[in-house]
Amino acid sequence: MKNYTSINDISNLSETIKDAILLKMNPFGYSEIGKHKTLVMLFFNSSLRTRLSTEKAAKNLGMEVMVLNVNDVWNLEFEDGTVMNMDTTEHIKEAAKVISQYADIIAIRAFPKLKNREADESEIAMTSFKKYATVPIINMESATAHPLQALADAITISELTEHKKPKVVLSWAPHPKALPHAVANSFVEMMQYLEVDVTITHPEGYELDPKITKNTPIHYNQEEALKDADFIYVKNWSSYNNYGQILNTDEKWTMTKAKLGKAKLMHCLPVRRNVVVEDAILDSAQSVVIRQANNRTFAAQVVLKKLLENL
């Protein structure tokens, strides 16, 4: 593996999931592989799970870790050929090369602004670091993808699957803020690779990028979609076609105990209780959200290990 910016960077998914589960059983089994290697994590946005689980994963492999909150340092310029006489102070061309001298691997979190679809889809932060850095890049959630989360979700489903081909439903939920599409996109892409029966349910107007959903069934009737589900992944996202807008906050889409049935509840966290999911489910044994968050460590660890092996 040369970079991990999308789940398509994984060459053998089932083997990678198995390796992650083995790392979970023996987290310090490769504690020499990262000796004298440094992970630099750059955050343009807030994080709890990604920051701590990725740092823990790196330390399990013996790496040093440096964390930089990018908003605390010089304003970065990403456009080529710009006359930098306004607010930006340092160009990505220098910044990426300088950071590469301190890092063996760079991990980046850079959310979309949700104002301009074309601008967000250009993934300027991720693509610029990939272009100008001289070390591997990990995506810790960008405008369109959250591949570490999707890998943790795949590990969780693999651990808990009782049938050969479980039914997995991605169910939209209301939220007071406009949220990105990254988690939903990467989850759908990941489910398309796995041996699962995947369905998406959301109100009309919340269709994800058709280049992502492809032939995945979409139901506007949530009750019908959830029938006989083994795993229900609840997530809000803003409209893709009316880019970044909130079209619906209808609480009838909130996940309830009655709707969950016998399925396991998945969510990437953080979750707004009693808006996205009812307390009664989050506090029940059917919720696997804490396991998902734990698996973030082993998703990051398997990715870091594969990158370190290729340095």
Minimum distance, C-beta of residue 278 to ligand CP, in the bound complex (Å): 20
Measured from the CB atom, the residue of 91 and 175 that comes closer to ligand CP is: 175
Minimum distance, C-beta of residue 182 to ligand CP, in the bound complex (Å): 9
Q: Which residue is nearest to ligand CP (CB)?
A: 50
How many other CB atoms sit within 10 Å of the CB of residue 58? Answer: 24
| 15 vs 233: CA distance, rounded Å | 23
Measured from the CB atom, the residue of 210 and 270 that comes closer to ligand CP is: 270
Measured from the CB atom, the residue of 55 and 230 that comes closer to ligand CP is: 55
CA distances in angstroms from 258 to 154, 174, 281, 290, listed in the order given: 25, 17, 9, 21
Measured from the CB atom, the residue of 40 and 268 that comes closer to ligand CP is: 268
Contact 108, 42 (CB under 8 A): yes
Measured from the CB atom, the residue of 205 and 270 that comes closer to ligand CP is: 270
How many other CB atoms sit within 10 Å of the CB of residue 70? Answer: 17
Minimum distance, C-beta of residue 140 to ligand CP, in the bound complex (Å): 7
Q: Is the peptide bond before 270 cis (omega within 30 degrees of 0)?
A: yes
CA atoms within 13 A on the CB side of 31: 7
Minimum distance, C-beta of residue 292 to ligand CP, in the bound complex (Å): 8
Q: Which of 144, 290, 266 is closest to 198 using CA atoms?
A: 266
Minimum distance, C-beta of residue 293 to ligand CP, in the bound complex (Å): 7
- Residue 233 β-bridge partners: 170, 266
**Which residues contribute to the site for ligand CP (CB under 6 A)?**
47-50, 141, 149, 268-270
